[in-house]
Amino acid sequence: MERILPLLVQLAVLAALALVGWLAAERIRVPAAAFLGPLMFVGASAILGMPQPDFPSWAVMGFQVVFGAFLGCQADRDSVKRVAALGRPVAVATVWVILSAFVIAFVLARMTTVDVTSSFLSAIPGGVAEMSAMSISMKANTPIVATLQSLRVIATMAIIPMVSKKLALPATAGAAIGGALSDPLPVWSLAAPATDVYLVDEVSTKRPAEGNSEVVGWLACLGVGLVGAAIFVYLRVPAAAIVGSMAAVVLCRVSGLGLVKPPPLLRLIALLGMGSYVGTGFSDQ
């Protein structure tokens, strides 16, 4: 009991820091706020010397299975057909991304003390949470991977909109003038608010509850992901938990099984948990 009580207090403090970090990151519109917010706040507490609880391995694996299941749910028969139809461009883009990541990782590893695995996971253009989850399975330096991936995302979000806006402005202005002269817009359309393209994916993934079939569908999805993760762990595949769960869900969805994407709340919990876990790995050294 004497050992359990301090652990519960540490977990409660960790959960509070994660929630506050998430809300603060959302407030200032940080990308991947549910992951980076807890990471920053928990990481700061670790750097300041606060005692950090030990995450159970089953919880970390659970977070990775959730990530893999969500990624796997992006695929279906139609998406496979679209990728197959664009085989050559997809192959060229894939080879280019992998080769460029290898080059950047080699330079980073030579110029710093970061190991090659951590350098590659830091250079590959993937999601911050997903790459951090993979780094855990591959025994890489997760704080370094999370930090460099976060810097990449923030820099991209800051630079790309400015560049694209300047490049698109002349063409947009010309098209707007030509359209106004040839086919004027009705008055009511000028007052209508523009659709926020950043919300399209968020809206499209939210479905109304469909009773027990909905729950059974996403529970089956998580079950399939867990089985795939267990198989890949047994085979000692790198990043087994997230890659195995994703591969299993993709295979089942392409085969026609009615797996349903888990509720967004579950992914939020996984992001908060993973961000907190990575944050506990930071130190002042």
285 residues of the chain, pLDDT tens digit each: 445 557 778 888 899 999 999 999 999 888 788 988 999 999 999 888 888 888 888 888 899 899 889 988 888 777 777 777 777 887 888 888 889 888 988 898 888 888 888 888 888 887 788 788 888 878 888 888 888 888 887 777 778 777 777 776 555 545 544 544 444 444 333 333 333 333 333 433 444 444 557 888 889 999 999 999 999 989 988 888 888 999 999 999 888 887 888 888 999 999 999 999 888 888 766
Q: What is the pLDDT of residue 83?
A: 72
Q: What is the pLDDT of residue 232?
A: 92
Hey, what long-range contacts does 238-242 have (CB within 8 A, 24 or more apart)? 238/134, 238/137, 238/138, 239/133, 239/134, 239/137, 239/138, 240/137, 241/61, 241/64, 241/65, 241/68, 241/133, 241/137, 242/64, 242/65, 242/67, 242/68, 242/71, 242/130, 242/133, 242/134, 242/137
Q: What is the pLDDT of residue 245?
A: 92
Q: What is the pLDDT of residue 170?
A: 59
Q: What is the pLDDT of residue 123?
A: 86
- How far apart, in whole angstroms, are the C-alpha atoms of residue 11 and residue 18? 10
Q: What is the pLDDT of residue 23?
A: 94
Q: What is the pLDDT of residue 124?
A: 83
Q: What is the pLDDT of residue 4?
A: 58
